[in-house]
Amino acid sequence: MSSPGSDVTEVEDVLDEPAHESASDPGPVGERPPARSWRTRADFLAVAVIAVVSLVASVLTWAFSDARATTSVTGPSSWEPLPEVTALPPSLAEVWRAPSGATQSPAVVLTPSAQTGEEKPSAVVTGDGGAVHGRDPLTGDVRWTYERDLPLCVVSTGWGRAMALYSKGTNCSELTSLDGVSGERRAQRNGDAEPGTALLNEGSHLITTGSKYTEVYRRDDLVKSLEYGALRAIVNPGKQPRAGCAYGSVAVTSGRFAMIERCPDDSSDRVSVLKPNPDKSDEPKVFASVLTGGRNVQVVAVTDKLVAVAVPDSGRLVVFDAESGTQISDVPLDVPADDFTDPPNHVARTFSTKTNVFWFSGSRTIALSHDTLTPLWTADGTLGAGTTLAGRAVIPVKEGLRVYEQATGAVVGTIKVNREGHTGPVQLATAGPVVLEQRGGTLVALR
C-alpha cells in the first residue's frame, strides 16, 4: 500500500486534468476518463486509520517477538593469539571465575591459526540463566554477549562457534550458534531435545542426548540429519530399527557415535554405533548393534574401528568391532560397583589425546590405549577425566592437580589448588597457559 503522502501527490496530479461535463460521457476515443476526486475528509480519515492500524500491528508484533527478548552485543572480529605453553608451571592460582551453570565442562572455542591453520584456543564461553558470554581466557573480561529471556539448557562449542540451546516450554528447542570470537549470530534451528541433554560435537555434526530421543544437526547450517528414538511426529513408520527403547550413555568420534540401548525384547543392554543420514533423517545408518551381556552398561569410548563398554555385572571392559559388532577383547576392571551408573547428561566423562583416552569412572581415572581401548594405567582418588598441559596428563584430585606421564602413568608431581571446599567432580580444559576448572555451576580459571 502506498503511504498517505504519496497518495495525496497522485490525487493532486489528477485534479489538474480537465474534467468532463458528465461522468458517464466516455469522451473522445482514446482519451482516459477523468479520475474521481476523493479529497474529502472521509478519504483522508480512512488513510489515517489504515496507517495507525499498520503502525500498531508492527509495534505489537515487535513487542511479543523473540527479537525484543534478545540482546546481542558483539565484539571484535579477531583476538590476539594466546601464548604457547612449553613447560609445566610451578604453581597455579585463581585469576578469574564466572557463574556458568549451563556448561557441563569448560567450553573453549578453537579457531584456525592464520599462520599454520592449526586450531588454537581463542575464547572461553560461559552460560548462566539466559546469558551467554565470550570471555578473554587470560582475564575473564567479557568480549561479547548473547542473551534471551529463556532459560539455557546447555552451552557447548564446535567449529569455532558457541552453541546455545534454550528451553521454550518443556523441552530444549531453541538452538543458536554464535561466532566464538565476535559473538555474531549464525545458524539457528528449532529442535526437540530432552531436558538434561548434552551437546556433543563429533567433528561434522552436533548430537543431543536423552533417555528416549536424540537428534543430530549438520555442521554448516544446523539442518537436522538424524532423529532417533521416540519421534514426536512419525512421518514414515517403521524407519527406526527398534521401538520402545531407553537410552543410556553416549560417546562420539568423527563421523559416528555410540549409545547404550535398553530395549524391552533384549536379554541385556546393547551398544549401537550409528551415523547420521542427511537424506533420510528418520532412517539412521547403523554400523553395528550388539548385545553386551550385561545391565547398567556404560559406553566408555568409540573410535573409527572400536567401541568399548564397561559391564558392571562382571566388572569388565568389553571391546567390540565398531562395524561388525564382533567382540575383540574382554579385560577386568578395577572399578567399584557404585561407579556403574549412567553418567550425568548421558555422556561418558572422557578426554582424548592422540595416544590415550582418559575415562573418569566416578572414583578414578583410567587411561586407555587409543589403538585398542584397553586399560594402560589407573589413577585412583581422582575428581575428573583431566586434560593435558605441556604434553603431560593433568588430572584433578582432592589436593589439586596431579601430573602424570601419559604413556606410563608415572606421577610427575602435584600442583596444589585451593578449591575452597568444593569436593565434587571437576572437569578440566586448557586455553593457552590457563587451566579451566568446571566446579558445579562455576567456571574457575587458574594460571
Q: Strand (E) positions, 39-100?
A: 70-73, 94-99
For 341-367, what is each residue's pLDDT tens digit? 899 999 999 999 999 999 999 999 999
Q: Higher pLDDT residue, 287 or 16?
A: 287
The pLDDT score that the predictor gives to residue 446 is 98
Task: Kindly indicate the confidence band of residue 43, based on its pLDDT and cuts at 50, 70 and 90.
Answer: low
Query: Of 23-32, 71-80, 189-198, 199-208, where does mean pLDDT reach its minimum?
Result: 23-32
For 107-157, what is each residue's pLDDT tens digit? 999 998 877 888 999 999 999 999 999 999 999 999 999 999 999 999 999
Between the alpha carbon of residue 191 and those of residues 20, 165, 227, the distances in Å are 65, 9, 10
Is pLDDT of 62 > 60? no
- What burial class does residue 12 get, using C-beta atoms within 10 Å of its C-beta: 0-12 exposed, 13-18 middle, 19+ buried? exposed
Q: Which cell goes with 382? A: 581422582
Q: Which cell goes with 268? A: 541385556
The pLDDT score that the predictor gives to residue 314 is 86
- Which residue, 242, 275, 271, 241, is CA-closest to 257? 275
For 289-321, what is each residue's pLDDT tens digit? 999 999 999 999 999 999 999 999 889 999 999
CA 281 to chain centre: 19
Is pLDDT of 103 > 50? yes
Provide mean pLDDT across the span 148-177. 96
The pLDDT score that the predictor gives to residue 400 is 97
Opening angle at CA 51, ends 41 and 46, nearest 5: 25
Average pLDDT over the chain reads 87
The pLDDT score that the predictor gives to residue 18 is 42
Rounded to whole angstroms, the Cα distance separating 418 from 93 reads 8
Is pLDDT of 433 > 90? yes
For 224-272, what is each residue's pLDDT tens digit? 888 898 876 555 666 778 889 999 999 999 989 999 999 999 999 999 9
3-state secondary structure of 205: strand
Between the alpha carbon of residue 353 and those of residues 380, 385, 440, the distances in Å are 20, 12, 24
169: left (phi over 0), alpha (psi -120 to 50) or beta: left
Is pLDDT of 442 > 60? yes
Residue type, 139: T
Task: Kindly indicate the confidence band of residue 1, based on its pLDDT and cuts at 50, 70 and 90.
Answer: very low
245 contact partners, CB below 8 Å, separation of at least 6: 229, 261, 262, 263, 264
Please check whether residue 208 is in contact with residue 153, taking contact to mean a CB–CB distance below 8 angstroms: no
Q: Higher pLDDT residue, 169 or 379?
A: 379
Is pLDDT of 42 > 90? no
Phi, psi of 4 (to 5 degrees): -60, -40
Dihedral angle computed from the Cα positions of residues 428, 133, 219 and 322, in that order, rounded to the nearest 10 degrees: 20
Is pLDDT of 52 > 50? yes
pTM comes to 0.84
3-state secondary structure of 346: helix
The pLDDT score that the predictor gives to residue 68 is 55
Is pLDDT of 7 > 90? no
Other C-beta atoms within 10 Å of 242: how many?
16
Q: Strand (E) positions, 51-106?
A: 70-73, 94-99
Query: Could you say which DSSP state residue 57 is in?
Result: H
Is pLDDT of 185 > 70? yes
The pLDDT score that the predictor gives to residue 44 is 60
Rounded to whole angstroms, the Cα distance separating 272 from 236 reads 22
Please check whether residue 312 is in contact with residue 297, taking contact to mean a CB–CB distance below 8 angstroms: yes
Strand order in the sheet with 364-369: 350-352, 356-360, 364-369, 375-380
Rounded to whole angstroms, the Cα distance separating 196 from 247 reads 13
Please check whether residue 283 is in contact with residue 277, taking contact to mean a CB–CB distance below 8 angstroms: yes
The pLDDT score that the predictor gives to residue 22 is 43
- What burial class does residue 232 get, using C-beta atoms within 10 Å of its C-beta: 0-12 exposed, 13-18 middle, 19+ buried? exposed
Output the CA torsion sign for 98, 100, 101, 107. Answer: negative
Between the alpha carbon of residue 83 and those of residues 7, 180, 431, the distances in Å are 65, 19, 9
Task: Kindly indicate the confidence band of residue 47, based on its pLDDT and cuts at 50, 70 and 90.
Answer: low
Please check whether residue 75 is in contact with residue 181, taking contact to mean a CB–CB distance below 8 angstroms: yes
Between the alpha carbon of residue 401 and those of residues 93, 290, 428, the distances in Å are 12, 38, 10
Is pLDDT of 37 > 90? no
Q: What ranges do the domains of the chain cover? A: 1-19+35-64
CA 277 to chain centre: 19
Query: Could you say which DSSP state residue 13 is in?
Result: H
Q: Which cell goes with 25? A: 460521457
pLDDT above 90 as % of the chain: 72
The pLDDT score that the predictor gives to residue 283 is 79
* Mode of pairing for the β-strands spanning 270-275 and 285-291: antiparallel
3-state secondary structure of 285: strand
